[in-house]
Amino acid sequence: MEQVNLQKIRNIGIMAHIDAGKTTVSERILFYTGKRHKLGEVHEGNAVMDWMEQEQERGITITSAATSVPWNDYTINLIDTPGHVDFTVEVERSLRVLDGAVALFCAKGGVEPQSETVWRQAEKYRVPRIAFVNKMDIKGADFYKVVESIKTKLGAHPLPITLPIGREEEFTGVIDLIYNNAIKYQDDLGRNVEVCEIPDEYKQVAKNARSAILEACVDYDESLMERFFEGDDFTATEIISILRKATVDMKVVPVLCGSAYRNKGVQKLLDTVVDLLPSPADVPPMKGEWNGKELLRESNDKAPTAGLAFKIMVDPFLGKLVYFRVYSGVVKKGSTLLNSTKEKKERIGRILKMHANASTDIDSAYAGDIVVLAGLKDTTTGDTICDPNNPIILEKMVFPDPVIRVAIEPKTKLGQEKMGIGLSKLAEEDPTFRTYSDKDTGQTIIAGMGELHLEIIVDRLLREYKVEANVGKPQVSYRETIKREARGEGKFIRQSGGKGQYGHVVLVISPKDPGTGFEFIDETVGGTVPKEYVKPVEEGVKEAARAGIIAGYELVDFKVRLIDGSYHEVDSSEMAFRIAGSMGLKDAVSRAGATILEPVMAVEVTAPDDYLGDVLGTLNSRRGQIKTIEDKSGVKAVEADVPLSEMFGYATNLRSATQGRGNYTMQLGCYLEVPKSEFERITGTKR
């Protein structure tokens, strides 16, 4: 591949709530950049970026798709991400490797629940953003209301740089506040554009909005203050230069508007991506470590090679494909690099430039590139691949645990092996999907982020791996925890002639804050438990916690202190102390007020005003706690916290209660203690 000037590269993602128009915007970008000569439509099932059969049938994005497009001498590497919360991992891992993002908002819906989730993910990875208010042509569109909701709900500093001319059916173009002119679209494809003076009725509102831009520039660069107060105007070049720095530093979020479906405003969005979002050279050096020492990798071709594998895909023809962001150095076809995460050498068989699910072979990839590597054997999502002579492990990605699980079995005996292979390959692709065997029942269990997530997995098993399977009822991934400190003792003694087994420990367990995990501390003195047996005790405690103590669910958020014990010169062994650790934990938990936590979902239901009472009834009957009720463009939006166990089948329930006019979204909110009645139902014991 020809080496491109780093300043001329933009690695961006498109992120938003479901149905805000991400894929339609991506398709228009392909059209206007000449990558595609026909417009792809989501509702017609022919969108390039939604290439999976499941995506085309459902009209939603399931997997993030990557492509590379040219625009005004720049190269834009674009990733279209899903909006559905079940596939939030696709957004998470894409944002991890991107330099900038376009946050899409529906002109009617504004900031919706999943908008907040992806915004927080972008904050976590410090990804600069511009916002695009899409669907300005639909009934109920309100640009200014959306800008206000970005400010209040997301805590951002939105700065409109274009304003709409008209709205709903009257939407005909945009006012460009940087260049101080109007852009009117004369044809259906948005190619015949008239650049003219701002219409008289918009001059005052445009003047005020442009003043806000100039004030933001002055706030960011105080050296311009004198010119500003003297009434001196700034050139478009000056404004772009300052806004670019402010955007990269995440001080402002420039906001544009348009209608991708009606082909209005997308070219201006592309110009803004190039003008205001960072190049790989603008972002800080990547942090990493090796042997406890912090290291940095500058984004240039001469630095030692380092990059991150952020996504795995198994292609039926090409085999295992690793989506890879090159942060520094050069990756060459046929070279051998180090997977520093696993400390294994990997040979680069092929390097591919992707366009959705199509690909082109290239010989080299340079700093700033997003490519696909073929031929890697041991690499999984989140691994660092680097120069063997300059090892580094880049900051890892953290993925959420599954919240729902079902049992699955093949319909035929012949399908057992094929199902095992299929599930392991799907789990390799998706870090939020897990598969394992239940020790008690021998069943194969699959676990994921929601009902749709698991439905897609089962569908892919059938289509890609030709395995028909029966699926059980969904089960919730509960967790166990403790409420108070308690002491426990574990003593394992076996004597059966010859060498026996002896392990004895005394533990104290105490609760930790939610989400802080497990901690083990050795507080023994005087060699009561020899140092070589401390690790086996910890492993025994971890094993018992994973298996669950009161109902078979993982025990979380607790600290264990090993305070005492005893050993036998001859009979003690690692196995004996591992079992003693497990017994000690069970003994302590029985005194520590053990309880069960359930995943509680943050649910938003939207329905016409007439059905508000029915909607509240559906939520109350499912142990829902109503938080807010708001008016949103002629409909009522109800936010509530509802236990996941009560949400199965809710779509049907809501449809019948609202005559098909209600919609809902949900995402994991937190884990809370189950009520007494639920505890007794889950454990089968009286409390």
pLDDT for the residue numbered 687: 62
Bridge partner residues of 414 (DSSP): none
Rounded to an integer, the average pLDDT of 274-282 is 90
pLDDT for the residue numbered 410: 85
- pLDDT tens-digit series, residues 211-221: 898 888 888 87
Reduced DSSP (H G I as helix, E B as strand, rest coil) percent helix, strand, coil of the chain, to 5: 30, 35, 35
Task: Look at residue 493 and tell me whether its pLDDT is greater than 80.
Answer: yes
Q: Where are the beta strands (DSSP E) in 495-589?
A: 501-511, 518-522, 558-566
Task: Look at residue 171 and tell me whether its pLDDT is greater than 90.
Answer: no
pLDDT for the residue numbered 656: 82
Written as one letter, the residue type at 223 is S
In this predicted model, which residue has the larger pLDDT, 490 or 352? 490
Helix (H) or strand (E) holding 286: strand 286-290
- Which distant-in-sequence residues (6+ apart) come within 8 Å of 672 by Cβ? 597, 598, 600, 643
Rounded to an integer, the average pLDDT of 36-57 is 44
pLDDT for the residue numbered 118: 79
CA angle 611, 613, 617 (to 5 degrees): 115
Nearest to 51 by CA among 355, 451, 434, 344: 355
3-state SS string for 85-134: HHHHHHHHHHHHHCCEEEEEEECCCECCHHHHHHHHHHHHCCCCEEEEEE
Task: Look at residue 420 and tell me whether its pLDDT is greater than 80.
Answer: yes
Rounded to an integer, the average pLDDT of 366-393 is 87
Rounded to an integer, the average pLDDT of 156-160 is 92
CA distance 9 to 76: 6
Task: Look at residue 62 and tell me whether its pLDDT is greater than 50.
Answer: no
- pTM listed for this prediction: 0.67
- Which distant-in-sequence residues (6+ apart) come within 8 Å of 332 by Cβ? 348, 351, 363, 364
Nearest to 597 by CA among 510, 477, 432: 477
Task: Look at residue 53 and tell me whether its pLDDT is greater than 60.
Answer: no
Task: Look at residue 340 and tell me whether its pLDDT is greater than 50.
Answer: yes
Task: Look at residue 260 and tell me whether its pLDDT is greater than 70.
Answer: yes
- Which distant-in-sequence residues (6+ apart) come within 8 Å of 483 by Cβ? 511, 592, 593, 594, 595
Q: What Rg, from alpha-carbon coordinates, does the chain have? A: 28
- pLDDT tens-digit series, residues 632-669: 766 788 999 999 888 877 877 887 888 777 778 777 88
CB distance 26 to 77 below 8 Å: no
Q: How confident is the model at residue 163 (pLDDT cuts 50, 70, 90)?
A: very high
Helix (H, G, I), strand (E, B) or coil at 661: coil
In this predicted model, which residue has the larger pLDDT, 169 or 490? 490
CA distance 202 to 325: 44
Structure tokens at 384: 């660092």
Rounded to an integer, the average pLDDT of 189-205 is 84
Percent of the chain residues topping a pLDDT of 70: 90
pLDDT for the residue numbered 81: 67
pLDDT for the residue numbered 36: 52
Residue burial 550-587, b: 16+ Cβ < 10 Å; e: rest: beebbbbbbbbbbbbbebeeebbbeebbbbbbbbbbbb
Mean residue pLDDT of the chain comes to 83
By mean pLDDT, which of 136-150, 155-169, 346-360, 414-428 is the weakest? Answer: 346-360
- pLDDT tens-digit series, residues 562-573: 999 999 888 889
In this predicted model, which residue has the larger pLDDT, 338 or 323? 338
CB distance 511 to 597 below 8 Å: no
CA distance 553 to 555: 6
Task: Look at residue 382 and tell me whether its pLDDT is greater than 60.
Answer: yes
pLDDT for the residue numbered 160: 94
pLDDT for the residue numbered 564: 92
C-alpha dihedral, 134 to 135 to 141 to 143, nearest 10°: 20
pLDDT for the residue numbered 509: 96
Helix (H, G, I), strand (E, B) or coil at 314: strand
In this predicted model, which residue has the larger pLDDT, 492 or 425? 492
CA angle 544, 546, 547 (to 5 degrees): 65
pLDDT for the residue numbered 25: 82
- pLDDT tens-digit series, residues 468-477: 888 887 778 8
Rounded to an integer, the average pLDDT of 121-125 is 82
Rounded to an integer, the average pLDDT of 366-375 is 86
pLDDT for the residue numbered 129: 92
CB distance 382 to 449 below 8 Å: no
Helices and strands (H and E) in the chain: how many: 16, 38
> What is the phi/psi pair of residue 178, to 5°?
-75, -45
Structure tokens at 631: 């008016």
CA distance 481 to 674: 11
Highest mean pLDDT: which of 190-204, 400-414, 589-603? 589-603
pLDDT for the residue numbered 503: 92
